[in-house]
Structure 1
Amino acid sequence: MDVIRRSQTNMYPQSLTVERPTGAHAAFDSTRIHRDLTALTNDPTVVHRVESLIVAQLAGFDVVATETIEATVVKTLTQLGYPQMALQYQR
């Protein structure tokens, strides 16, 4: 995982900055994760559970690379017992 800088004080994802592969920075938008998870399953309980864990894992960082977010989604889905969803997400 390519985490750029771990936060010492921020525990809220609203202050998270995403570094894109081009080097550009953008504010973290958790609705994108929600949308991607909703596209994988119609079960709102699964979406909420996975989304909450992903956001909690990312909340401790100031800046995080796009690849790190993607790897966190895949890892979380796999650890929670949704390997098929993880494979679909990677596509």
Structure 2
Amino acid sequence: MDVIRRSQATMDPTGLTVETPSGKHTPFNSRKIHAALADLTNDPTVVHRVESLIVAQLAGFDVVATGTIQATIVDTLEQLGYAHMAKSYLKANH
């Protein structure tokens, strides 16, 4: 599943809705991304940097699929040179 609907009005993730594979809609919770990243490294600077970039990318959407969130996490980690963390994330989430 891919992005459902891109927002034209805001870059704030507080109104973001996540669509699960079953079609259920739930409010976006950035703490889940933080926790997933913290499981991959003990470096709070890395966690903050990556989390901020991921949330900024997702903030432009009204509704986003969980698969898109996962792909954004992996892509961001790889683009920042954390390929080992991306592989560990994929292993833990698949």
Range of TM-score over shorter length: over 0.9
Aligned mates of 2:11, 2:39 — CA distance in 1: 28
Moved over 2 A (4+): none
Secondary structure of 1:42 counterpart: coil
User: TM-score scaled by structure 1?
Assistant: 0.98
Uncovered stretches (5+) of structure 2, i.e. residues with no partner: none
Identity within the alignment, %: 69
Partner residue, 2:59? 59
Partner residue, 1:86? 86
Secondary structure of 1:31 counterpart: helix
Letter in 1 for 2:28: F
Aligned mates of 1:44, 1:52 — CA distance in 2: 12
Aligned mates of 1:18, 1:89 — CA distance in 2: 19
Aligned mates of 1:10, 1:67 — CA distance in 2: 22
Aligned mates of 1:88, 1:14 — CA distance in 2: 28
Partner residue, 1:47? 47
Uncovered stretches (5+) of structure 1, i.e. residues with no partner: none
| Cα RMSD (Å) | 0.8
Partner residue, 2:72? 72
Aligned mates of 1:23, 1:9 — CA distance in 2: 24
Task: Give the deviation of 1:10 after TM superposition.
Answer: 2.0
Secondary structure of 1:53 counterpart: helix
Worse-matched range after superposition: 42-51 or 3-12: 3-12
Aligned mates of 2:25, 2:10 — CA distance in 1: 18
